[in-house]
Amino acid sequence: MGISFIDGISGFIPELYLGILTLIAIYSFHKISIIWRYYLHRRREISPLHKFSDADLPQVTIQLPLFNEMYVVDRLLEAVAALEYPVDKLQIQVLDDSTDETREICRAKVRELKQRHLNIDYIHRCDRKGYKAGALAYGLQSATGDLVMIFDADFVPSPDTLINMVHYFANPKVGMVQARWGHINRHYSILTEIQALMLDGHFVTEQTSRNRSGCFFNFNGTAGIWRIQTIEDAGGWQHTTVTEDLDLSYRAQLKGWECIYLPNIVVPAELPMEMNSFKSQQFRWAKGASQVAKKLLLPILTSNAPGHVKLEAFFHLTNNFNYLLLLVLLLLSLPYQLFLAETGWRYGLAIHLPLFLITTLSLLAFYSVAQEEQRGQNSPWKLTSNLFLLMSVGIGLSINQSLAVYDGLFRVGRDFVRTPKHGVTSNEEDWKTRKYRAARNLVPYLELSMVVYLLLTISVAVVNAHYLSLPFLLLFLIGYIYVLSLSMFQRR
């Protein structure tokens, strides 16, 4: 009898499968280390060296980079106009690259605010060279401040945001101060609740852990303040990546500038309400992180930074590589089930039990820790169900994010795709009545193929009584079905 297909694959499938799981487990252990450092340092308060007197407050330029934001720009400008800061020490730049009605809305609002004696300038570029990074750099050419504060269009700072953050620049070594993001429309839909959980994990757990333990952390593109000298010293805003914020953050910290994260200052913003917008946003962030890893990882690893800082930077900048590992794992699931049909369930137990204990529980713990800052947002049951759905959605994004990582590592293009903002904050409003939409692409068809592939894999598992595999395979399937259905039909 000739060599069967199973004989052909049995030589390398278990080793490859185990190797992928081991790499995923290493990243999962890193999540545990973040949790440990969070609890170790979260009580450590960072205070300003001293507070500026009213007469000594530094000159501040506020930059508002915009592109087609007609539904949220009025809200943003009103919030910025209400900031508690001496008018003679404040300059506001509306950096509007829009091509639609946003231009006239901005011009009219700027005229109104000038009548209220605010120092505000409307700056419009026609070519969008460098996208957001280009707009920020262009604005700096006419900035009068020593510091520059940045808000994206969907953010709504409270009046005391600036005055609470500016005092940290009394230390001349501080180059950047970042606030935490809040969520205006957290409870709009299941999708927005899942996004809120994901972002809370980053802003509550990760950012606090990194900054308090002395590691590099990233400016998040908005709701933060930079010392203009720091920007210039680090090489300025560069548009060689689509995450100019992450790029500048690491360059500045490599130059020795101190950066401070303030988790207790929360600036709320709007979460994407449609799946394609969410996927587009996640694609840009994953692509940009991969570009920054390609650009800066070697300089970081060869720098004079301490070993633990280099290690954390490596895991931070390569974190999205997890999606590639997960995608390979999903593609191996069918041949692995065929392998188990020959070897029996005990080998499966040896593989799946560590996967459950290390990967699943570490992720649940990571996001659960962040919810300590969100007490009362959800009932324990709803929080638990949302956490499992979050894991499913993360799996369902694996094709989208793997393509982003590939784009960042191997493609030359630097196109910046904005996330549509709808200005909808309550369930009584419907984002589908607004004109902005994320661009459609071919990714849902790849996701449909994965749904079919997983159904086939589950069928093989059931036929061969591999019931231990079913919870994981069903988790994978639920994630892809959820992401695919919202991508195709755009329902809340």
Query: What 3 state SS string does 19-67 have?
Result: HHHHHHHHHHHHHHHHHHHHHHHCCCCCCCCCCCCHHHCCCEEEEEEEC
- List pLDDT tens digits, range 58-88: 999 999 999 999 999 999 999 999 999 999 9
Q: In the Cβ-directed half-sphere of 30, how many Cα atoms lie within 13 Å?
A: 19
Distances in Å between the Cα of 372 and the Cα atoms of 188, 380, 411 are: 21, 12, 40
Looking at the predicted structure, is the pLDDT value of residue 376 above 60? no
Residue predicted with more confidence, 373 or 9:
373
Q: Could you give phi then psi for residue 62, rounded to 5 degrees?
A: -105, 120
Q: Domain boundaries in the chain?
A: 1-47+171-492, 49-130+150-164
pLDDT classification of 158: cutoffs 50, 70, 90: very high
pLDDT classification of 30: cutoffs 50, 70, 90: very high
What pLDDT shows up at residue 3?
A: 47
- Out of 152, 154, 245, 407, the active site residue is 245
pLDDT classification of 371: cutoffs 50, 70, 90: confident
Distances in Å between the Cα of 191 and the Cα atoms of 111, 152, 279, 423, 474 are: 38, 21, 11, 16, 19
- Tell me how far apart the alpha carbons of residues 268 and 69 are, in angstroms, rounded to a whole number: 17
What pLDDT shows up at residue 112?
A: 96
CB 439 within 8 A of CB 417: yes
Q: Say which residues have a Cβ less than 8 Å from residue 111's Cβ, sequence separation at least 6.
A: none
pLDDT classification of 320: cutoffs 50, 70, 90: very high
DSSP, res 226: E
Looking at the predicted structure, is the pLDDT value of residue 352 above 90? no
- Tell me how far apart the alpha carbons of residues 110 and 121 are, in angstroms, rounded to a whole number: 7
Q: Which helix (H) or strand (E) holds 373?
A: none
Question: Which bin fits 423, alpha (ψ -120 to 50), beta or left (φ > 0)?
Answer: left
DSSP, res 265: E
Cα of first residue to Cα of last residue in the chain, in angstroms, is 56
- List pLDDT tens digits, range 122-153: 999 988 889 999 999 999 999 999 999 999 99
Amino acid identity, position 363: L
pLDDT classification of 348: cutoffs 50, 70, 90: low
Distances in Å between the Cα of 411 and the Cα atoms of 402, 441, 480 are: 13, 17, 26
- List pLDDT tens digits, range 441-460: 889 999 999 999 999 999 99
- List pLDDT tens digits, range 254-285: 999 999 999 999 999 999 988 999 999 999 99
CB 247 within 8 A of CB 409: no
Residue 97 known to be catalytic: yes
- Out of 97, 154, 247, 407, the active site residue is 97
- List pLDDT tens digits, range 80-119: 999 999 999 999 999 999 999 999 999 999 999 999 999 9
What pLDDT shows up at residue 2?
A: 44
Q: Give the closest residue to 181 by CA, choosing from 162, 159, 163, 207.
A: 207
Looking at the predicted structure, is the pLDDT value of residue 1 above 60? no
Residue carrying the six token digits 């231990």: 468
Residue 54 known to be catalytic: no
What pLDDT shows up at residue 165?
A: 98
What pLDDT shows up at residue 191?
A: 92
pLDDT classification of 325: cutoffs 50, 70, 90: very high
Mean pLDDT over residues 376-402, rounded?
85
Residue predicted with more confidence, 162 or 475:
162
pLDDT classification of 434: cutoffs 50, 70, 90: low
Q: Give the closest residue to 227 by CA, choosing from 323, 149, 296, 120.
A: 149
Mean pLDDT over residues 309-329, rounded?
96
What pLDDT shows up at residue 382?
A: 77
- Tell me how far apart the alpha carbons of residues 400 and 472 are, in angstroms, rounded to a whole number: 20
What pLDDT shows up at residue 57?
A: 97
Please, what is the average pLDDT of the chain?
89
Q: Which helix (H) or strand (E) holds 225?
A: strand 224-227
Q: Helix, strand, coil shares of the chain as percentages rounded to 5?
A: 60, 10, 30
- Tell me how far apart the alpha carbons of residues 265 and 375 are, in angstroms, rounded to a whole number: 17
| CATH numeric code, 49-130+150-164 | 3.90.550.10
- Tell me how far apart the alpha carbons of residues 330 and 458 are, in angstroms, rounded to a whole number: 12
Mean pLDDT over residues 243-251, rounded?
97
What pLDDT shows up at residue 339?
A: 80
What pLDDT shows up at residue 492?
A: 40
